[in-house]
């Protein structure tokens, strides 16, 4: 009788451990807000979940998991069934490529060009589609240079050492990535120069050189001013006053010897574009902000409030048409979404990365509304002559 009991103990023990793992996985799969916190399938929940024997806390639950895992039967069970629950760190190459491309971020190339062209159309009624497309492709090349060179220099500093979607890590070639980046910069700059020559406006290419210079000193050695907390001011200047104003000037007509003046409208529009672009950058590195995530969430809230106060102020001062105010005001819900999301998730590093994509939506929709308001004013009023700051 004793021998029978002795023989039965291992199987009972194995059954008990296996039962623990089955219950663990079943509860982890069906409990909302379960979060995988380690590669050993430690699922912790908020709030604590109920069982028949009472309420188990997160610590007790994780301790129970570790006790089961550390047993021999537990390790064997996990190895045999490791495919039952997919690991979060197993990301497909297609997903990594999508993340490396950063397609949504290219709105920062489209919005300044579109808004600048819309201001020129408001004032002159002229729009050069071929030149717009040339500037668009050139801008995309410039943004690609920024992304690729940023990957290279972050790789050099060790910031992207474990970043799977880093282009350098994916292609396993720092030199190839850097050479490709600067080839795209050269091609993009050639396109910008061609458009400037065709428009006959030398001021535009000087402004674009200033914008590219901001991008260079932001991330490239020996400057790397992004590490000094100057990324947002440089981003604001590059995509706002410099790029948006330059694209506005590039919609002038050389054949008519007409050079667009700098007006309060283009300066106001470029200010708003720079503001929303800088917000994307801030939320892209939200988990790295020096002031802490709580103060960072407050900065985002103040920035959104300031954006719309600035919009209404510029509208009341007639620097921007009323149609711009009305259409841009429709983006208030997405602005509120950005604020609420950051406030609720600023301490969660697994969720806060989504804030930058909400900012991209705000940037794109706000820019589209601004451009649509400018075009609508010209369509309705047929003529609009803003007061020039500089002729």
- pLDDT higher than threshold 60 for residue 354: yes
Do 375 and 285 touch, CB atoms closer than 8 A?
no
pLDDT of residue 126: 86
pLDDT of residue 60: 43
- pLDDT higher than threshold 70 for residue 258: no
Q: Which residues contact 74 (CB under 8 A, 6 or more apart)?
A: 17, 20, 21, 68
pLDDT of residue 20: 47
Task: List the chain domain ranges.
Answer: 99-384
pLDDT of residue 53: 39
Burial class (CB in 10 A: 0-12, 13-18, 19+), 288: exposed
Cα separation, 62 vs 42, whole angstroms: 6
pLDDT of residue 168: 82
Cα separation, 337 vs 320, whole angstroms: 25
**Helix axis angle, 129-157 relative to 174-199, nearest 10°?**
150
- How do beta strands 43-44 and 50-51 pair? unpaired
Cα separation, 226 vs 224, whole angstroms: 5
313 vs 384, residue with greater confidence? 313
Cα separation, 266 vs 257, whole angstroms: 20
Cα separation, 306 vs 294, whole angstroms: 19
- pLDDT higher than threshold 90 for residue 193: yes
**Mean pLDDT over each residue of the chain, to the nearest integer:** 78
Tokens coding 209: 């050189």
Confidence of residue 379 (pLDDT cuts 50, 70, 90): confident
Q: Mean pLDDT lowest for which of 82-86, 333-337, 376-380?
A: 82-86
pTM of the predicted structure, to 2 decimals: 0.74
Q: Is the dihedral of CA 16, 22, 25, 31 positive or negative?
A: negative
157 vs 310, residue with greater confidence? 310
Using a pLDDT cut of 70, give the percent of the chain over it. 70
Query: Of 91-105, 270-284, 339-353, 374-388, which one has max mean pLDDT?
Result: 270-284
Confidence of residue 109 (pLDDT cuts 50, 70, 90): very high
Confidence of residue 240 (pLDDT cuts 50, 70, 90): very high
pLDDT of residue 161: 67
State mean pLDDT over 180-196. Answer: 95
Angle CA(172)–CA(177)–CA(180) in degrees, nearest 5?
A: 150
Using a pLDDT cut of 90, give the percent of the chain over it. 48
pLDDT of residue 371: 97
Confidence of residue 1 (pLDDT cuts 50, 70, 90): very low
pLDDT of residue 297: 93
- pLDDT higher than threshold 80 for residue 282: yes
Query: Of 10-24, 51-65, 190-204, 242-256, which one has max mean pLDDT?
Result: 190-204
pLDDT of residue 102: 76
State mean pLDDT over 107-135. Answer: 94
Length, in residues, of the chain: 391
Tokens coding 219: 């991330």
pLDDT of residue 12: 41
């Amino acid at each position: 009788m004793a021998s029978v009991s002795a023989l039965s103990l291992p199987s009972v023990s194995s059954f008990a451990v296996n039962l623990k793992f089955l219950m663990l996985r079943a509860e982890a799969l069906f409990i909302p807000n379960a979060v995988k916190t380690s590669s050993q399938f430690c699922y912790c929940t908020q709030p604590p979940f109920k069982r028949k024997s009472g309420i188990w806390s997160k610590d007790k639950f994780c301790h129970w998991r570790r006790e089961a895992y550390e047993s021999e039967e537990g390790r064997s069970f996990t190895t045999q069934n490791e495919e039952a629950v997919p690991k979060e760190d197993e990301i497909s190459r297609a997903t990594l490529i999508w993340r490396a491309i950063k397609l949504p971020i290219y709105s920062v190339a489209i919005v300044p060009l579109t808004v600048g062209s819309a201001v020129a159309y408001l004032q002159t009624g002229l729009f050069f589609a071929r030149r717009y497309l040339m500037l668009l492709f050139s801008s995309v090349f410039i943004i690609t240079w920024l992304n690729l060179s940023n990957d290279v220099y972050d790789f050099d500093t060790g910031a992207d050492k474990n970043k799977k979607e880093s282009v350098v890590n994916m292609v396993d070639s720092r030199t190839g990535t850097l050479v490709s980046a600067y080839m795209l910069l050269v091609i993009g700059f050639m396109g910008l120069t061609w458009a400037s020559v065709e428009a006959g406006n030398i001021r535009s290419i000087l402004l674009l050189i200033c914008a590219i210079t901001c991008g260079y000193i932001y991330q490239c050695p020996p400057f790397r001013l992004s590490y000094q907390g100057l990324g947002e001011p440089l981003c604001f200047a590059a995509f706002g006053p410099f790029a948006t104003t330059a694209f506005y000037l590039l919609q002038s007509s050389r054949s008519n010897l007409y050079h667009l003046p700098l007006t309060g409208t283009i300066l106001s529009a470029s200010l708003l574009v720079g503001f929303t672009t800088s917000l994307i950058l801030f939320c892209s590195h939200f988990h790295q902000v020096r002031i802490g995530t709580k103060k960072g969430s407050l900065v985002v809230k103040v920035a959104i409030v300031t954006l719309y106060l600035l919009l209404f102020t510029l509208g009341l001062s007639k620097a921007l048409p009323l149609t711009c105010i009305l259409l841009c005001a429709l983006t208030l819900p997405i602005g509120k979404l950005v604020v609420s999301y950051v406030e609720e998730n600023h301490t969660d590093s697994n969720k806060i990365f989504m804030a930058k994509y909400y900012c991209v939506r705000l940037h794109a929709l706000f820019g589209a509304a601004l451009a649509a308001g400018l075009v609508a004013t010209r369509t309705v009023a047929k003529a609009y002559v803003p007061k020039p700051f500089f002729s």
